[in-house]
């Protein structure tokens, strides 16, 4: 059995990221949570104030023999706008900032290279931060599998569903059957 690796991304509401990465071949799990802040065991309500320094993230456990870290980066950049500072669409605040939390030097280098390559294709400046991983705090249980459990909720239909469909179309070979 392959050794599993970890990748942690923040790029808007964690429901969006989780919904996509849960469907990705090679991803064992992608729980929602919080990272990067200065408060131990933050709650959703605390993070939403924007005062804890935490970002809504997904912490992806993946099998590198089935999907590469670079593939995960490609998906991450395709499903959110890395040029929006402290927001994704109508979700605003530092908790929605675009960030890659790296686990090791190899991930840091890969993330910075992906940003450089992606910047060449975009008119606006990429604002995605690259920071060392910190303590991951799992989100409250009601956040897990939110899209799967609430596909007809208005936010899910208007925001998450288009991202999932974009992923499924652009990365058809990476979608779990």
Catalogue the active-site residues.
13
What's the distance, CA 157 to chain centroid? Answer: 19
Burial 93-112 (b: 16+ CB within 10 A, else e): ebbbbbbbbbeeeebbebbe
* Contact indicator for 160, 52 with CB cutoff of 8 Å: no
What single DSSP character describes residue 13? Answer: -
* Contact indicator for 63, 4 with CB cutoff of 8 Å: yes
For the chain, the C-alpha Rg in angstroms (whole number) is 15
**140 phi and psi, to 5 degrees?**
-60, 150
Exposed/middle/buried for 21, CB within 10 Å: 0-12, 13-18, 19+? buried
Provide the 10 A C-beta neighbour count for residue 41.
9
């Amino acid at each position: 059995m392959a050794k599993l690796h970890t990748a942690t991304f923040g790029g808007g509401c964690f429901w969006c990221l989780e919904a996509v990465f849960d469907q990705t071949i090679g991803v064992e799990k992608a729980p929602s949570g919080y990272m990067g802040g200065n408060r131990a065991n933050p709650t959703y309500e605390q993070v939403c104030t924007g005062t804890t320094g935490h970002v809504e993230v997904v912490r992806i456990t993946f099998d590198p023999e089935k999907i590469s870290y670079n593939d995960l980066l490609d998906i991450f950049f395709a499903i959110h706008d890395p040029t929006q500072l402290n927001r994704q669409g109508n979700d605003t605040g530092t908790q929605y900032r675009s960030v890659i939390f790296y686990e090791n030097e190899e991930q840091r280098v890969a993330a910075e290279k992906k940003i450089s390559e992606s910047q060449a294709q975009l008119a606006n400046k990429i604002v995605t931060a690259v920071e060392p991983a910190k303590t991951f705090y799992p989100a409250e249980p009601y956040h897990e599998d939110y899209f799967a459990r609430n596909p007809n909720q208005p936010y899910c239909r208007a925001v998450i569903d288009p991202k999932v469909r974009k992923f499924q179309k652009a990365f058809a070979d990476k979608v779990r059957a």
